[in-house]
Amino acid sequence: MLMNHSNAIGLAKMSCSLCHGIGVRVIRTDTEVPCNCIFRAIFRACLNRFRQCTVSAEHIGSVSLEFCRGSEGRRVYSRKQQEYAADFCLVSRRTLDEVEHTVFKYHFLLGADWSLCCRQLKLDRGSFFHMVYRIEQKLGRIFCELKPYALYPLNEYFGGLIRRKPASIFRRPVSTSFIPPMAA
Ligand SMILES: [Zn+2]
């Protein structure tokens, strides 16, 4: 995903105490990084689409023809919703460690609330919500950075658009060398 200030502001949480709704944090005085609230928003968007896909699983119909606009330029038949649901689960399993994946499964996939999860996993409430935040951040980041087929943005996943060279335009430390104006 092409991460820039525009979509960072669009995804950031207004009440975030770290970025104050800007979506960008400055570390080491001159390096900008995306705020974690962006990744949590990406995760929730992907989770909502996963839930929509599973609700419509009873209505699995015919395959659809997808246009891949990558360098191959091929057209393929696919079951996009089922592929998305499988990708969502498999990427999560691959990314999270065992304890995190157990919490992810109970809380996000099976819908157990915090009290049930805490009782079953013998966690206190603070540890549980810290782990939930960590899971959302890890998965949100991997969902938008996955190559070559990122799960986010969802319209690109479902539309078949492939970006070959995603680039971040967040500001990096710049050289302080002075370049004098040159005559044309
Ligand atoms: Zn933030």
pTM of the complete model = 0.77
Name 18's Cβ contacts closer than 8 Å, sequence gap at least 6: 25, 35, 36, 37
pLDDT of residue 162: 53
Say which range, 26-35, 48-57, 95-104, 162-171, has the weakest mean pLDDT. 162-171
Report the separation in Å between the CA atom of 82 and the middle of ligand 1, taken as the mean of its atom positions. 32
Report the separation in Å between the CA atom of 15 and the middle of ligand 1, taken as the mean of its atom positions. 8
Question: Each residue of 123-171: pLDDT tens digit?
Answer: 999 999 999 999 999 999 999 998 888 898 898 888 765 555 555 556 5
pLDDT of residue 28: 83
Report the separation in Å between the CA atom of 170 and the middle of ligand 1, taken as the mean of its atom positions. 15
Confidence of residue 57 (pLDDT cuts 50, 70, 90): low
Q: Is the pLDDT at 176 greater than 60, yes or no?
A: no
Report the separation in Å between the CA atom of 6 and the middle of ligand 1, taken as the mean of its atom positions. 14
Q: What are the extents of the domains in the chain?
A: 36-159
The Cα 39–Cα 35 span in angstroms is: 7
Report the separation in Å between the CA atom of 138 and the middle of ligand 1, taken as the mean of its atom positions. 15
Question: Each residue of 72-131: pLDDT tens digit?
Answer: 667 777 788 888 999 999 999 999 999 999 999 999 999 999 999 999 999 999 999 999
pLDDT of residue 124: 94
The Cα 170–Cα 8 span in angstroms is: 10
Report the separation in Å between the CA atom of 55 and the middle of ligand 1, taken as the mean of its atom positions. 31
Give mean pLDDT, residues 20-40.
Answer: 88
The fold for domain 36-159 equals: Arc Repressor Mutant, subunit A (1.10.10)
The 8-class DSSP code of residue 56 comes to G
Q: At what angle do helices 80-95 and 36-55 cross, to 10 degrees?
A: 140
Report the separation in Å between the CA atom of 139 and the middle of ligand 1, taken as the mean of its atom positions. 16
14, amino acid identity: M
Residue 97 Cα to chain centre, angstroms: 17
Report the separation in Å between the CA atom of 61 and the middle of ligand 1, taken as the mean of its atom positions. 40
Phi, psi angle pair for 65, to nearest 5°: -90, 120
Stronger pLDDT, 27 or 127, i.e. the higher one: 127
pLDDT of residue 119: 94
pLDDT of residue 45: 94
Token output for 34? 């995306």
Report the separation in Å between the CA atom of 182 and the middle of ligand 1, taken as the mean of its atom positions. 41
Report the separation in Å between the CA atom of 39 and the middle of ligand 1, taken as the mean of its atom positions. 9
Report the separation in Å between the CA atom of 56 and the middle of ligand 1, taken as the mean of its atom positions. 33
Report the separation in Å between the CA atom of 23 and the middle of ligand 1, taken as the mean of its atom positions. 5
pLDDT of residue 63: 73
